[in-house]
Structure 1
Amino acid sequence: MTNLFPGKGFSNRIKITQNEFMQLRDIIYELSGIYLQDNRKFLIENRFAPRISELELNSYTEYIDYLRNHIKGKTEELNMLTELITTNETSFFRDNPQLKVFRNFTLKNFIDAGNKSGRREIKIWSAGCSSGEEPYTLAIILHEMLKKEISKWRIRITANDISDNVLKMAQKGIYTKYSLRTTPENIISKYFTDKGNDVFQINPDVKRLVSFGKINLNLDRDLKRIPKSHIIFCRNVIIYFDKKMKKKVLEGFCNNLLDVGHLYVGHSEALHTVTDKFKPKQHTGTITYHKI
């Protein structure tokens, strides 16, 4: 649920040449897997010029040299690069038609099967979790579905993002009223503590179901350390990758999913042109994907 660029202006930005843009784009792609289209050049100027000034550099060429020639700096700068090229627009219970299918189809089937077999276990991976609204929403839905029976289940929601800053926010579990703008009032009163001044804290019984950690979807070693999942949510993330990177990430998802697993992606992220490893299932309001 991480989107590229908020589009804020910067009046005295340092200009970037086409050659510098292409070099910087290649570095960003190498480090994060995010591919910047040609029309992002202006936005690169908007976002990176203050950082270049902060480093007391005079041009994008100097910044590129800094990334390439200072290995320690390059590693530390990845966090800053991520913050500069992404912004996080999300909320609790976002895209309710999709969540309704998750609740009434996917989750119901897993709960029914678990009760029948006695293997009461659900493992969910929120890949690109941003500041935590998505995985916490899934945890709330699990509480709503299982109610007092939830103590009989082994539930693990693994939530990952590439940004350290949003992960710190997610781990705190403290949100403004704006993050709850798409959340029913009865859910807010039941699962959040009103701290005053339009600040709300997620309740501990929801928080304990979710574990947060940093991940770079471009790194095989990061993907391999994620526990096998019954369900993967990766919404509005792969839209920012080129076809090669999409294929790589989806291959990782396929390897991670258990045979009965379900994959949820954003509405504009069709998979049929990228991979043949998933079969779509049409529902009212959304599509779910299943391993073939």
Structure 2
Amino acid sequence: MDGLFSGKGFSGNIKITQKEFLQLRDIIYELSGIFLNDNRKFLIENRFAPRLSELKLNSYSEYINYLKNHSKGKTEELAMLTELITTNETSFFRDNPQLKVFRNYTLKKMIDEGNKTGRREIKIWSAGCSSGEEPYTLAIILHEALKEDIRKWRIRITANDISTNVLKMAEKGIYTKYSLRTTPIPIISKYFSEKDNNIYQIKPEVKRLIKFGKINLNQDRSVKMVPRSHIVFCRNVIIYFDKDMKRKVLSGFHNNLLDNGHLYVGHSESLHAVTDKFKPRQHAGTITYHKI
């Protein structure tokens, strides 16, 4: 890669033409299923300029050529593309009303049924886990709900994301105080080890419940390899998809979920007029969806 563009200087304020924008948009959609509306040209210019600088490219046409003609570069750039056009703004215990419903309704029902039947198994898929705050939050909630009985249960949280970089952060389980801004202090004391300079590390008993891995929700083969789940969390992900891609992703979730499975999406996301594979249920402060 170093020799492909040698001798070319970078000019800082590169504008993207409409033709280049459409070409790049098509590539992004093909690779990730993320669709950019016409009004996102400024986002591309604003976020991609440093990347073009790193690659010593003078135009978006050169970048598009690089993506199209070099398969190795295409693979490496996929994670970079998605990081540039999405926002990994997250924290532990984000959207507490939704988590309260998960804890007091979905999880309680599963625990009661498991204790009654003796089939004590909980399988959760965190699809679009970003830097790990969501799956770790779910693991902590499981610890809080089951307490010492957690050893009697078979628990697996599958946590996936398209970005290699955020998955590396998630696997380390090390966070700043900012990531814990919505976390109750007793929870921090119980499930994190405090390091120097307000750095916190998740404890091993939480970490062991989770298996991280890379996934592209636009690739059927990858989605089909995810273990079947009782619950799928996919919050603030489908907002980046157009209707066709939403249908595809939601169909994948439907196939993954076991009978009577539960789906949680972001509080600003809705399945209305997108799919009829799930039945919505209204709760105080949030909506959950159930496999039909």
Same-fold call, TM > 0.5? yes
State how far apart, in whole Å, the 2-side matches of 1:43 and 1:114 are.
48
2:267 aligned residue: 267
Mapping of residues 111-260 of structure 1, within 5 Å: 111-260=111-260
2:67 aligned residue: 67
State how far apart, in whole Å, the 2-side matches of 1:103 and 1:267 are.
16
* SS at structure 2 position matched to 1:232: strand
1:98 aligned residue: 98
Shift of residue 48 of structure 1?
1.4
Q: TM-score, normalised by structure 2?
A: 0.95
Partner amino acid, structure 2, of 1:196 = D
* SS at structure 1 position matched to 2:12: coil
State how far apart, in whole Å, the 2-side matches of 1:60 and 1:239 are.
25
Q: Deviations over 1:248-274 (max 9, x none)?
A: 000000000001210000112110210
Asked whether the equivalents of residues 13 and 50 of structure 1 are also in contact (C-alpha less than 8 Å), the reply is no
Q: Does 1:58 align with 2:69?
A: no
Shift of residue 202 of structure 1?
0.4
Shift of residue 85 of structure 1?
1.5
Mapping of residues 72-91 of structure 1, within 5 Å: 72-91=72-91
Unaligned runs of 5+ in 1: 1-10
How many residues are paired up? 282
* SS at structure 2 position matched to 1:196: coil
State how far apart, in whole Å, the 2-side matches of 1:269 and 1:210 are.
25
* SS at structure 1 position matched to 2:195: strand
Asked whether the equivalents of residues 126 and 233 of structure 1 are also in contact (C-alpha less than 8 Å), the reply is yes
Asked whether the equivalents of residues 13 and 46 of structure 1 are also in contact (C-alpha less than 8 Å), the reply is no
Shift of residue 212 of structure 1?
0.4
Shift of residue 216 of structure 1?
0.4
Q: Deviations over 1:195-250 (max 9, x none)?
A: 12100000100000011000000000110000000000000000110000000000
Q: TM-score, normalised by structure 1?
A: 0.95
Partner amino acid, structure 2, of 1:200 = Y
2:109 aligned residue: 109
State how far apart, in whole Å, the 1-side matches of 2:200 and 2:118 are.
37
State how far apart, in whole Å, the 2-side matches of 1:247 and 1:61 are.
32
* SS at structure 2 position matched to 1:58: coil
Asked whether the equivalents of residues 126 and 234 of structure 1 are also in contact (C-alpha less than 8 Å), the reply is yes
Q: Deviations over 1:36-83 (max 9, x none)?
A: 111110110111122223222221111111111112211122122122
1:29 aligned residue: 29
State how far apart, in whole Å, the 2-side matches of 1:46 and 1:276 are.
38
State how far apart, in whole Å, the 1-side matches of 2:240 and 2:49 are.
22
Question: Root-mean-square deviation (CA), in Å?
Answer: 1.0
Partner amino acid, structure 1, of 2:266 = G
Partner amino acid, structure 2, of 1:152 = K
Shift of residue 92 of structure 1?
0.4
State how far apart, in whole Å, the 2-side matches of 1:43 and 1:22 are.
14
Q: Which moved more, 1:249-258 or 1:86-95?
A: 86-95
Shift of residue 87 of structure 1?
2.8
State how far apart, in whole Å, the 2-side matches of 1:212 and 1:289 are.
24
Report % sequence identity: 82
Asked whether the equivalents of residues 123 and 155 of structure 1 are also in contact (C-alpha less than 8 Å), the reply is yes
State how far apart, in whole Å, the 2-side matches of 1:51 and 1:257 are.
38
* SS at structure 1 position matched to 2:126: strand
